[in-house]
Amino acid sequence: MKNNPFSLDFGAEPNLMIPRYTEQNKIIETFTAESPSTHIFLLVGARGSGKTVLMTSVSHKIRDMDNWIHVDLNPEGDMLNELAAEITRKTKKQYPRLKFEISVKGVTVSSDVEEKYSDIQVDLDSILETLKKKKIRLLITVDEIHNSKDVRAFTGYFQHCLREELPVFVLMTGLYKNLRALQNNRSQTFLRRATRLNLGPLSQIRIAQQYEEIFGIPSEQATEMAQMTKGYSYGFQMLGYLTFEAGKKRPDERILNEYRANLYENSYEKIWEELSAGERSVVLAIAESAPGTDVKQIRETLQMNSNLFSTYKDTLDKSGLLSRGSAYGTVDFILPFFREYVKEVWGE
């Protein structure tokens, strides 16, 4: 039996994927330009929308270019010390003749947090000045950014790099609300000017083409399968994986039930958990209304004033959960079977 071409690993670059050429080319062309218009991109979208896959794809292409170093940082750790250590390690491999003048303390853990950050920033400046002289650029990727002390220390240092015109480029992913919390911190307001790419659904045409090729089915059947994913990246992989594992040409009722269960358990439960009480009430009201119901009618059902409702709706939209409905003044869920999940699990 052939290996399943679909992947369920979150974040890894799958063997079979729908490329986001527009976003990918925009990032690579900007970062590799002689005079880049920006040194940072923020990839924003719902869980399972393919943020990490896009970031991984871009980093793999850039790291293979001449005069580039790529470092991936863990937002849960000491990012500045990790950055210095990783640059040092990678340059020894890629540029063995390149030497840095740095202190030992700069790449090790110190008991004094303030002293450690002071030392490490001096060392990083020295490292990056050396890279600049050698015309080497640094790409830093950070997955699932959030508003923490270590992240703020890193982004604060990145702002310093921008002022000093150091060759540092940053690509970060995150949920909309986590990025908003970080940007609203008084020391991080410069991030509001960072270029943000909101990842919407994948092309259903491309998904159908992949299904048609893999399963050898007519285009009409492949299109029906693609519509079951609504362009949701995780849904595309999950539906394809389950159908392939079952040895079927197209999903039957058992596969569809398993597909929905996996969406519910592996994605939607976490999405719901991260919603505020007000956001949940709006989501539930939309789910329990008939598709195509006017937004004003949904708001009146909730007895919620227009400004508050608009705030919740805007957050849900930017979080990658809502889209405009088929009729003017309506909304719909952008994720497959999310309406059913909300009604079945949280409805009355």
- Digit-coded pLDDT (tens) for 246-269: 999 999 999 999 999 999 999 999
* Domains of the chain, start order: 21-198 (3.40.50.300), 204-272 (no CATH), 275-346 (1.10.10.10)
In this predicted structure, the answer to whether residue 27 has a pLDDT above a threshold of 90 is yes
DSSP structure class, residue 262: H
Amino acid 110: pLDDT = 34
In this predicted structure, the answer to whether residue 187 has a pLDDT above a threshold of 60 is yes
Residues 304 and 315: their CA atoms lie apart, in Å, by 16
In this predicted structure, the answer to whether residue 104 has a pLDDT above a threshold of 60 is no
Residues 108 and 151: their CA atoms lie apart, in Å, by 18
Amino acid 11: pLDDT = 61
In this predicted structure, the answer to whether residue 293 has a pLDDT above a threshold of 50 is yes
pTM here? 0.91
Amino acid 8: pLDDT = 85
User: Rounded to an integer, what is the distance from CA 210 to the centroid of its chain?
Assistant: 23
Band the pLDDT of 326: cuts 50, 70, 90.
confident
Which of 11-20, 53-62, 106-115 shows the lowest mean pLDDT across its residues? Answer: 106-115
Burial of 337 (0-12, 13-18, 19+ CB in 10 A): buried
3-state secondary structure of 236: helix
Convert 65-103 to b/e letters by CB count within 10 Å (16 or more is b): eeebbbbbbebeebbbbbbbbbbbeebeeeeeeeebebe
Residues 280 and 341: their CA atoms lie apart, in Å, by 13
- CA-atom Rg of the chain in angstroms: 23
User: Rounded to an integer, what is the distance from CA 175 to the centroid of its chain?
Assistant: 7
331-333/322-324 β-pairing: antiparallel
